[in-house]
Amino acid sequence: MKLSVVSSVLLSASSAFAFDYVIGVGKDERTGRKGMGFDPSSIHPSAGDTIVFEFRSGDHSAVQSSFASPCAGIDGGFNSGVQTVGDDLEVDAPGLPQIRLLVNDTQPLWFFDEAAGLCRDGAVFSVNPTQEQSPGVFVENAKNSPETPAPSDSDSEDSGSPDESAGGDGPAPTSDDSEGAALRVVAGMIWLGVLAPAFML
């Protein structure tokens, strides 16, 4: 009986600590207005967290790439497909299209907005970057990328579902993640508050 109670508490607690990172695609992180890029342009999620790509006005996409080639999609990588949103909607209007991506581990992941054709202008997004593979160097790599043609209708079909998962294959991150660390500390404190009473049963 005690084991089943503890198991139930553990399952409930682990799902309660997952975090959704809402990323505005086609939202300028400097101004908070409609524009180029991703807002925020870099995050440090943990395994089990979810990236929620939320699309703003215009034609936008979130396509997985690599650190060395930021403006070229990788075979078999995540691709949201082109998401078209009317220009008459407010930047944070309710009901904007969303596609969710489950984070499987803490390896670095790299994305760009292929549909907008602005990768070389910095429309890139990094997940769990490291000190060696930093967001700044990723943006520089994008600026120095060869020009890529705009996606055709056949290239931009939605290859993903509203819920997918991804993991990386690069080195483990070494950068400081104060926001993520704070979330994990709070989660750890709640964890102790939930589990300690369960073990005393």
Tell me if 85 is assigned to some domain: yes
Q: What is the pLDDT of residues 165-195, one digit of tens each?
A: 565 443 333 333 333 333 333 333 333 343 3
Q: Domain of residue 121: give its range.
A: 19-171
Residue predicted with more confidence, 105 or 7: 105
For 137, phi then psi, to 5°, come to -70, -35
State the pLDDT at residue 164: 61
Tell me if 111 is assigned to some domain: yes
State the pLDDT at residue 142: 97
Residue predicted with more confidence, 162 or 153: 162
Tell me if 140 is assigned to some domain: yes
User: Average pLDDT, stretch 73-90?
Assistant: 95
Question: Where residue 86 falls among pLDDT bands split at 50, 70, 90?
Answer: very high
Provide the domain count of the chain: 1
Rounded CA gap, 163 and 113, in Å?
18
Counting residues of the chain whose pLDDT is more than 90, the rounded percentage is 62
Tell me if 194 is assigned to some domain: no
Tell me if 196 is assigned to some domain: no
Rounded CA gap, 35 and 141, in Å?
21
Bridge partners of 99? 53
Tell me if 185 is assigned to some domain: no
Tell me if 108 is assigned to some domain: yes
State the pLDDT at residue 107: 97
pLDDT exceeds cutoff 60 at 97? yes
Measured over all CA atoms, what is the biggest interatomic distance in the chain, rounded to whole angstroms? 63
Of 48-57, 157-166, 170-179, the least confident: 170-179
Q: What is the CATH number of the domain that holds 75?
A: 2.60.40.420
CB contact at 8 A, 99 and 63: no
Rounded CA gap, 66 and 110, in Å?
6
pLDDT exceeds cutoff 80 at 163? no
Structure tokens at 74: 């990788």
Rounded CA gap, 179 and 198, in Å?
29
Of 129-138, 152-161, 186-195, the least confident: 186-195
DSSP for 23-53 reads EEEEE-TTTSSEEEEEESSEE-PPTT-EEEE
State the pLDDT at residue 146: 87
pLDDT exceeds cutoff 70 at 30? yes
Tell me if 121 is assigned to some domain: yes
